Amino acid sequence: MTQRPSFNPAPRHTTPTLRSATPRSPLPPRPSPATTSPSPAPARPSPSATTTKPSKTRKPSRFEAPVRDFLTYCKVECGFSPATLAAYAGDIRDLWVELAQLGHTSWEDLTHEGITEHLRGLRDSRGLELSSIARHVATIRVFCRFMHTAGVIEENPAELLEQPETWKKLPTVMQDEQVQKLLSAPQPSDALYLRDVALLELLYAGGLRASELADMDTTAIHFELGVCRVLGKGSKERLVPIGRPALRAVQRYLDELRPDLEKPAVSGERIFLSRTGQPITRVVVWQVVKRHAARVGLKDIHPHTLRHSFATQMLAGGADLRVVQELLGHSNINTTQVYTHVDRSRLKEVVNRFHPRP
């Protein structure tokens, strides 16, 4: 059974335990009563008569170095986020494992047919959705192109690999009354009431991602200007206007609750802290949103739902698509265009206004 490789450290290859074929020597005979000199101490067994210890040296894998170089390139040169790097590493690991199980020893053994079989297995054996398979395809294509450029492989086996067409699902959005129910869900009796109110208000007011909110520090919000500085995907920075309700909620949290939660040794400059003073993670943001949504009877609500609702309501109110793209931090306007298909009332209004025979 092939051992599942890992990127760091490399897979270990231990030497199997060897047992000597030398038979055990019998116990020394008891000395006779007439013997006055003590019997000599038994000699130490020779190394060949003992069990050898497993070797602690590890044999580097020929799969590993190109993967390390690729992930370093993605991090340093492309500025990809840790989440993107983790996704790339997981996709490549799946391919690595399959090649190793088939007896291959390096990326030079990778072929177009092998990639096709791997992708078919993701669908048939693991039951992945087409959107997940499309991400694997994108990862394999860019990884193979990197190896070909770096001279690791002579030919690019993914050069003719086509990206599968996926249906774009319309995002789930909340109505205005649902948003208000969620924002009013925290109760004053809650221990972290002020934090949760500020978290929900800021998440919705700026259309922020959960990771962007969790990573925000105390210097990111400019109360006098009414904007916050957001560090998005690829370490791209943008300024997002924030409404007065959210600014008031954050200011109150910073004044009244955060000083009690803060522990200088662990808190740092992050705005949102846990009960223990640790900076919260995007998982905690997700949990806070889910918990308060369940409290007011809202289902299938997560942080990105607030982001979808922010974008949809901005467009419905007449905001320009390019402006919404900048606010959301989308590098491609096609990503933002999906929100134009959500608000059917906006489309009907445009037809009634501009069509010659409405």
What CATH number has the domain bearing residue 293? 1.10.443.10
To the nearest whole number, what is the mean pLDDT of the chain? 82
Based on the domain organization, do 201 and 270 belong to the same domain? yes
In this predicted model, which residue has the larger pLDDT, 207 or 26? 207
Instruction: Give the DSSP H or E segment for 131.
Output: helix 130-150
In this predicted model, which residue has the larger pLDDT, 347 or 315? 315
Based on the domain organization, do 142 and 198 belong to the same domain? no
- 43 pLDDT more than 70: no
Based on the domain organization, do 193 and 272 belong to the same domain? yes
Within a domain: 20: no
Based on the domain organization, do 211 and 143 belong to the same domain? no
Task: Note the pLDDT tens digit of each residue in 265-287.
Answer: 898 999 999 999 999 999 999 99
Based on the domain organization, do 238 and 101 belong to the same domain? no
Q: Which domain holds residue 286?
A: 176-351
Q: How confident is the model at residue 181 (pLDDT cuts 50, 70, 90)?
A: very high
Based on the domain organization, do 138 and 187 belong to the same domain? no
Task: Note the pLDDT tens digit of each residue in 121-144.
Answer: 998 988 888 888 999 999 999 999
Rounded CA gap, 148 and 192, in Å? 53
How deeply is 245 buried, as exposed, middle or buried, from its count of CB atoms within 10 A (0-12, 13-18, 19+)?
Answer: middle
- List active site positions: 209, 233, 304, 307, 330, 339
Based on the domain organization, do 217 and 326 belong to the same domain? yes
Task: Note the pLDDT tens digit of each residue in 212-263.
Answer: 999 999 999 999 999 999 998 877 899 999 999 999 999 999 999 999 999 9
How deeply is 302 buried, as exposed, middle or buried, from its count of CB atoms within 10 A (0-12, 13-18, 19+)?
Answer: middle
Rounded CA gap, 258 and 256, in Å? 6
How deeply is 147 buried, as exposed, middle or buried, from its count of CB atoms within 10 A (0-12, 13-18, 19+)?
Answer: buried
Based on the domain organization, do 183 and 312 belong to the same domain? yes
- 355 pLDDT more than 80: no
- 350 pLDDT more than 90: no
Number of domains the chain is built from: 2
Based on the domain organization, do 255 and 295 belong to the same domain? yes
Within a domain: 139: yes
CATH at 83: 1.10.150
Based on the domain organization, do 114 and 206 belong to the same domain? no
Based on the domain organization, do 211 and 86 belong to the same domain? no
Based on the domain organization, do 93 and 188 belong to the same domain? no
In this predicted model, which residue has the larger pLDDT, 8 or 285? 285
Supply the pLDDT for residue 83: 83
Task: Note the pLDDT tens digit of each residue in 311-324.
Answer: 988 988 888 889 99
Range 183-191 average pLDDT: 95
Within a domain: 37: no
Within a domain: 22: no
